[in-house]
Structure 1
Amino acid sequence: MKKSELKSFLDFKAEQYNTPEFIATDPVQIPHQFSKQEDIEIAGFLTATIAWGNRKSILNNANRLMDLLERSPHDFVINHSEDDLKKMANFVHRTFNGLDLEYFIKALQNIYLRHSGIEKIFSKYAETDNLQPAIHHFKKIFFELPHLSRTEKHVSDPLKNSAAKRINMYLRWMVRKDNCGVDFGLWDTLKPSQLSCPLDVHSGNVARKLNLLKRKQNDAKALQELDTVLRTLDPNDPVKYDFALFGLGVFEKLN
């Protein structure tokens, strides 16, 4: 397939799957339950954090998380007491447990009270065409409070060769300007051109099938390789192709 044909094909598939109907099948539906920016940010971050494994389980546990936060994520994060955190003890999603959740709530409170919010951190450390170093700095700030070492594994670090799929997905939700109502585009200080594709098993396999990616591992080097190609197809909105790759892999089984 010629590059022009490949671009036309992927543009078509991105348009096919980047629709409001996509929301009902995706974890992005959780932050869509809210209207206040900080609620969307926090609901999105926590949902993205547990977005691995069975999709039904992800959605069930993300909704349970919102119930634990009393359906007011920002207010709970800012104003919670130690007694409020005791309710988190029995929460489990795969290896993310109640102790991890307790720390995440404390860390988010610290970020909003002392660092002016999540967007401010990413904007401060963003590079012109890349947010991966900003993820690294975000992780350092996120874990600046006393914490269990086990909890650190739940925020990936691209500078340690992680593809950081879940946090790149979160950044897509927050930054990408989406006229179709899926991605929020809340953070005006960052540009969609700086985003990286949320690389996972499905998108990676489809990218290799279409010769967009040669590297076999789904790591930071593979992400850089895929980003480079996708930015030649659309330098202003390269991660719109996440919809195409994901849709082709999950819904059309092109693996």
Structure 2
Amino acid sequence: MIHSELKEFLGEKVELYNNPNFIESDPIHIPHLYTLKEDIEIAGFLAATIAWGNRKMIINNAKKMMDLMGNSPYDFVMNHSELQLETLETFVHRTFNGQDFVGFIKGLQHIYQNHNGLEAVFSQEHPTLQHTISHFKQLFFEAPHLSRTEKHISDPLNGSAAKRINMYLRWMVRNDNKGVDLGIWKSIAPAQLSCPLDVHSGNVARKLELLIRKQNDAKALAELDQNLRALDPKDPVKYDFALFGLGVFEGF
């Protein structure tokens, strides 16, 4: 497929899948439940953290997380008691358990108390947003946590494609008035974002020759980013809707 044809084809799929009708069946449904900025970004962060496996299970378990925090995630992060933290220990989603959840609440409290919140950390200047993610992980785990909990935030500088955190950043940053991505962070440009690379988007990208590398790792992400930026340098990650939709809904 030549460049102009590929751009037109993917553009049509973006229009199809960048649609509020898909919100309810997607983890992005969770941050859409809130209106306070801090609630949105914390709910989104926690939902994205457990976003692997069956999507219905992800959404149900993310709702359980919100319920355990009294459906006021920011207030819970900042003002929880030790007794309230203990109630989180019943939670489990695949390998993310209640102790990991407690570690994440402490990490989030540390970010808001000592680093001016999630947007401020991700807005810090680094060579790329992937370097920023790596730095965020360091700051996040300055708070008390179990070593096992660290695996639940990927580090792009250790070779990970960091799919879930790149997806989270798409939710927070992109604002195209379509009603899907929340676009509440104004200090990061959509041009800086990287595509959430997973099995579905990777397979479709390879079929469309947007990606040659076989592993879904940091090198593959850099390759995909370069090719998507050639299609739209200002908003390359809009094509995530097309790649994901083609893979999940069309079996492309």
- Considering the TM-score relative to the shorter chain, is it more than 0.5? yes
The answer to whether structure 1 residue 69 and structure 2 residue 69 are counterparts is yes
Which residue number corresponds to residue 118 of structure 2?
118
Q: Does the 8 A contact of 2:107 with 2:144 survive in 1?
A: no
- Coordinate RMSD, CA, aligned: 0.7
Show the 5 A alignment for 1:33-182. 33-127=33-127, 130-182=128-180
Which residue number corresponds to residue 248 of structure 1?
246
Which residue number corresponds to residue 10 of structure 1?
10
Q: Does the 8 A contact of 1:196 with 1:223 survive in 2?
A: yes
Deviation at 1:161?
0.4
| In structure 1, C-alpha distance between the alignment counterparts of 2:132 and 2:143, rounded to whole Å | 19
Q: Does the 8 A contact of 2:25 with 2:56 survive in 1?
A: no
231-240 vs 145-154, greater mean Cα deviation: 145-154
Deviations 1:168-197 (A, max 9, x none): 000000001121110011111100000000
Q: Which amino acid aligns with 1:105?
A: I
| In structure 2, C-alpha distance between the alignment counterparts of 1:93 and 1:46, rounded to whole Å | 12
Aligned length: 252
Deviation at 1:147?
1.8
Q: Does the 8 A contact of 2:107 with 2:141 survive in 1?
A: yes
User: What is the TM-score with the length of structure 2 in the denominator?
Assistant: 0.99
Q: Does the 8 A contact of 1:125 with 1:137 survive in 2?
A: no
| In structure 2, C-alpha distance between the alignment counterparts of 1:85 and 1:178, rounded to whole Å | 37
Deviations 1:192-215 (A, max 9, x none): 000000000000000001110000
Give the secondary structure class of the aligned counterpart of 1:125: coil
Deviation at 1:25?
1.5
Deviation at 1:28?
0.2
Q: Which amino acid aligns with 2:9?
A: F
Identify unmatched segments of 5+ residues in structure 2.
none
Deviations 1:222-246 (A, max 9, x none): 0000000000000000000000000
Which residue number corresponds to residue 190 of structure 1?
188
Deviation at 1:145?
1.9
User: What is the TM-score with the length of structure 1 in the denominator?
Assistant: 0.98
| In structure 1, C-alpha distance between the alignment counterparts of 2:125 and 2:45, rounded to whole Å | 18
Give the secondary structure class of the aligned counterpart of 1:196: coil
| In structure 2, C-alpha distance between the alignment counterparts of 1:159 and 1:125, rounded to whole Å | 16
| In structure 2, C-alpha distance between the alignment counterparts of 1:20 and 1:11, rounded to whole Å | 17
Deviation at 1:115?
0.6
Q: Which amino acid aligns with 2:223?
A: E
Q: Which amino acid aligns with 1:98?
A: G
| In structure 2, C-alpha distance between the alignment counterparts of 1:92 and 1:126, rounded to whole Å | 34
| In structure 1, C-alpha distance between the alignment counterparts of 2:20 and 2:59, rounded to whole Å | 17
